């Protein structure tokens, strides 16, 4: 019961903090003080208090987009185990639901973007569709590897299965897996080098350009959903990259939170020392991620 409560509290409260930590890390590299850690929360509350403006050319799809996206993301958050604790909902094959909840969220974000009829948002949707096609194989190769290792089709068993021994017995496979997953973690969450969440240049953005027409609470849902997606995929990544488990409930929660903070700092560092890729180069890197995880799978199946 406590575990369930902690799971829910973390899922609801922690995602914006990740963005705050990334922001602080980037500010430190730039020699600035940076916005407070809690700034993303302030931004969300500000947006929730605002009114919304809807273009007269949009339909119900535009209004439904942010809500369905957030709902799908929250559902996915209930399927992912955090730390050493099983997820609130789990069943055999939930990994497929997990993968396609994000697919559903993406579909409605793109549909809402196309609904506006704006040429920028159409471009953004086209980019998102292209890149997500390339991300999907990586995710499924990763899931197959984990299935094979744990012998289970449920995320809870797959991810809380003790991976420490596997790191010793099949380290090469897991290194490839972690590399591939880190690339899609950055790509899926629109971080540098794939997308720059801070520029507001309509011609270069991917995710941000699709949500240009949203305002007020709806835009708040989108930002919150994006933060939660980063948190969920980050937790997925942490399970494989840092599989330290003690068996003590509270200690495991502590380790999980510290690992997530470390991940946020790592993302901040990557964003600080790299420039964005040219848009035409992004598919190449995503295909590379697929190949890495494909080889990881081959090594496990061997």
Residues within the interface to another protein (CB under 8 A) = 26, 29-32, 119-120, 122-123, 126, 192-193, 196, 198-204, 271-281
Q: Which is nearer to another protein, 32 or 46 (CB)?
A: 32
Nearer to another protein, 119 or 169 (CB): 119
B/e letters for 168-191, b = 16+ CB within 10 Å, e = fewer, are: eebeebbebbbebbbbbbbbbbbb
Residue with tokens 């899922």: 11
Closer residue to another protein, CB minimum distance, 10 or 190? 190
Q: How many CA atoms lie within 13 A of 284 on its CB side?
A: 6
298: helix, strand or coil: helix
Residue 292: strand, helix, or coil: helix
Rounded to a whole number of angstroms, the minimum distance from the CB of residue 94 to another protein is: 36
CA 176/CA 119 separation, integer angstroms: 38
The partner residues of 82 in beta bridges, in order of sequence, read: 85
Q: How far is the CB of 98 from another protein (least distance, A)?
A: 30
User: Toward another protein, which CB reaches closer, 40 or 268?
Assistant: 268
Q: Please state the closest distance from residue 280 (CB atom) to another protein, in A.
A: 6
Q: How far apart are CA 176 and CA 294, in angstroms?
A: 9
> Based on CB atoms, which residue is closest to another protein, 177 or 206?
206
Closer to another protein by CB, 1 or 275: give it: 275
Minimum distance between the CB of residue 211 and another protein, rounded to whole angstroms? 13
> Minimum distance between the CB of residue 178 and another protein, rounded to whole angstroms?
21
Distance CA(250)–CA(234), nearest Å, equals 20
Task: State the nearest-atom distance from the C-beta of 204 to another protein, in Å.
Answer: 4
Other C-beta atoms closer than 10 Å to the C-beta of 36 total 12
């Amino acid at each position: 019961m406590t575990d369930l409560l902690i799971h829910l509290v973390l899922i609801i409260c922690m995602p914006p903090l990740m963005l705050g930590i990334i922001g602080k890390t980037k500010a430190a590299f730039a020699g600035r003080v940076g916005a407070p850690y809690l700034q993303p929360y302030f931004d969300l509350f500000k947006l929730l208090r605002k009114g919304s403006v809807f273009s007269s050319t949009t339909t119900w799809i535009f209004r439904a987009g942010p809500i369905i996206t957030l709902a799908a993301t929250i559902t996915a958050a209930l399927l992912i185990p955090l730390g050493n604790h099983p997820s609130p909902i789990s069943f055999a094959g939930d990994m497929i639901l997990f993968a396609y909840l994000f697919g559903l969220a993406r579909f409605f974000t793109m549909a809402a973007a196309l609904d506006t009829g704006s040429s920028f948002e159409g471009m953004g949707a086209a980019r998102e569709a292209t890149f997500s096609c390339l991300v999907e194989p990586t995710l499924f190769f990763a899931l197959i590897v984990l299935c094979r290792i744990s012998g289970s089709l449920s995320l809870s068993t797959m991810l809380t299965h003790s991976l420490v021994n596997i790191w010793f017995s099949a380290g090469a496979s897991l290194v490839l897996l972690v590399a591939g997953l880190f690339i899609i973690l950055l790509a899926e969450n629109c971080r540098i080098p794939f997308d720059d969440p801070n520029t507001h240049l309509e011609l270069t953005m991917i995710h941000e350009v699709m949500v240009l027409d949203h305002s007020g609470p709806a835009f708040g849902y989108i930002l919150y959903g994006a933060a939660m997606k980063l948190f969920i995929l980050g937790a997925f990544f942490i399970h494989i990259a840092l599989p330290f488990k003690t068996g003590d409930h509270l200690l495991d929660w502590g380790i999980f939170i510290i690992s997530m903070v470390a991940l946020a700092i790592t993302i901040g560092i990557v964003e600080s020392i790299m420039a964005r890729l040219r848009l035409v180069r992004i598919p190449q890197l995503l295909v590379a991620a697929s190949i890495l995880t494909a080889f990881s799978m081959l090594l496990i199946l061997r």
